[in-house]
Amino acid sequence: MPLKVMKVQPRSPAAKAGIKDGDTILSINAMPINDFFDLEYYGNDYQLEFELKGSDSNCRILTLLRQPNKPLGIEPEPHEVASCANSCVFCFIDQLPSGLRPTLYQKDDDYLFSYVFGNYITLNNLSPTQLKRIVNQHISPLYVSVHSTDPMLRKKLMRYRTDFDLLQTLRYLSGQGIDFHLQIVCVPQYNCGDRLRATLSDLLAGSVNVLSIGVVPVGLTGFRENLTELKPFTAELAAETITIIDSFRQQGQPVQAADELYVMAGLSVPDEHYYGDFPQLENGIGMLRLSRMNFRRRRSALIKELDKAGMPLVMLTSRSAESTIKELASRLEPKLEKASVRVKAIANNWLGGQVSVSGLLAAKDILEQHNATGNEGLIVPSNIFNHDGITLDDVSQIEFRDLLGRPLLVVDQYFEDWEWI
């Protein structure tokens, strides 16, 4: 479907060429334009011939000479995201309570968002035309949820209707030069142990262009009523899973275990060399190590910031990061002259179950559990907020600060920066 222009920036190349709000872009240099990616891909040449349809339904052709590295100034209508058609037994969204940010309930399975934002997709819903487009426009790398390379087991886990051989599709796209970051959500009694080993062997046999594989434990909340009964991860299974992953790493393979697996198993997270350039960071892999690395680099600046505030502070964290944050706080405390820091771990009662990461803490749990008294201020990790500064349970930073009624320092979860709210 042709792409409609929502807004043209004033004095931009598009505005100067005569493109207007409400125009529909039919083609650029005779190539059909159907979405934002087509606009970016085909709009990169120096000379662009736009075929447009105006709001009056009249068509016209305009020529635009584009300056290198200068945006066209076209803001297209929002992309219609491809939705997930699966019904995974472990789907995290199906386990969410009501009252959260509306965007948290959106299930996307969009290959363009996979490339642009690093969202994991299944590849289950791609048509031959879409596969051809991925190859022709070299939409790479893609982030793909594998879970199992056994077609029957994967179908059992994801409950899609049409039989689909993921490994065959990965091999085809790899042969066309497409690379992949992959993830495996391990579900006890489904795809762990020998089945995980078989999946990793298939993926790493050489026919798939694997950049990285992240192995993460299934996330179970306290809201699984009427859902498939699943067993939680145990310390023993976490340790076994790490051992399997390490057996592949010893062969030089790019497989990484989630931080949660180390926490569950009671093991220290690996050193920085394990993570390379941290390709699975958004998957919760390497967060604890990167936090330690950045803390060392930024500790002196953070000490100055806290001393400038000159007050006792409570550093809030999640259960899974508690030991790491306590260790880092112990390196702050002796150096502070006008401030002090203690650590308080917040239990995730809002989601319940085994959820224990800071990025899923709700304002409600923090407000109920922070235990700050007197003139103590609070330090919270930035990932309790989204990019718009909203918590999981739809509370803004300003609202949150006002509800707390005390000074609030938001520290980047990797200790790269901080800000008083």
Sorted by where each begins, the domain ranges of the chain are: 3-76, 93-285, 289-420
Q: Which two tokens stand for residue 305?
A: 């910031």
**Residues 183-238: pLDDT tens digits?**
999 999 999 999 999 999 999 999 999 999 999 999 999 999 899 999 999 999 99
Q: What is the pLDDT of residue 54?
A: 94
CATH topology of domain 93-285: pyruvate-formate lyase- activating enzyme (3.80.30)
Map tokens 């992309």 to a residue. Answer: 79
Q: What is the pLDDT of residue 185?
A: 98
Half-sphere exposure of 114 toward its Cβ, with a 13 Å CA cutoff?
Answer: 27
CATH number of 289-420: 3.40.50
Nearest-Å Rg of the Cα atoms of the chain is: 24
Cα–Cα distance measured from residue 166 to residue 149, given in angstroms and rounded to the nearest whole number: 7
Per-residue pLDDT of the chain (421 residues; tens, 9 = 90+): 899 999 999 999 999 999 999 999 999 999 999 999 999 999 999 999 999 999 899 999 999 998 888 899 999 999 999 999 999 999 999 999 988 888 889 999 999 999 999 999 999 989 999 999 999 999 999 999 999 999 999 999 999 988 899 999 999 999 999 999 999 999 999 999 999 999 999 999 999 999 999 999 999 999 998 999 999 999 999 999 999 999 999 999 999 999 999 999 999 999 999 999 999 999 999 999 999 999 999 999 999 999 999 999 999 999 999 999 999 999 999 999 999 999 999 999 999 878 999 999 999 999 999 999 999 999 999 999 999 999 999 999 999 999 999 999 999 999 999 999 9
Fold match, 3-76 / 93-285: no
Cα–Cα distance measured from residue 264 to residue 266, given in angstroms and rounded to the nearest whole number: 6
Long-range CB contacts (within 8 A, 24+) of 58-62: 59/26, 62/17, 62/18, 62/19
CA angle, residues 399, 400, 402, in degrees to nearest 5: 65
**Residues 128-149: pLDDT tens digits?**
999 999 999 999 999 999 999 9
Cis preceding linkage at 141, omega within 30: yes
- CATH H-level superfamily of 3-76: PDZ domain (2.30.42.10)
Give the start-end residues of each E strand in 13-125: 24-28, 31-32, 47-53, 59-65, 74-76
Cα–Cα distance measured from residue 316 to residue 327, given in angstroms and rounded to the nearest whole number: 13
Long-range CB contacts (within 8 A, 24+) of 55-64: 55/20, 55/22, 55/23, 59/26, 62/17, 62/18, 62/19, 63/17, 64/13, 64/14, 64/17, 64/19
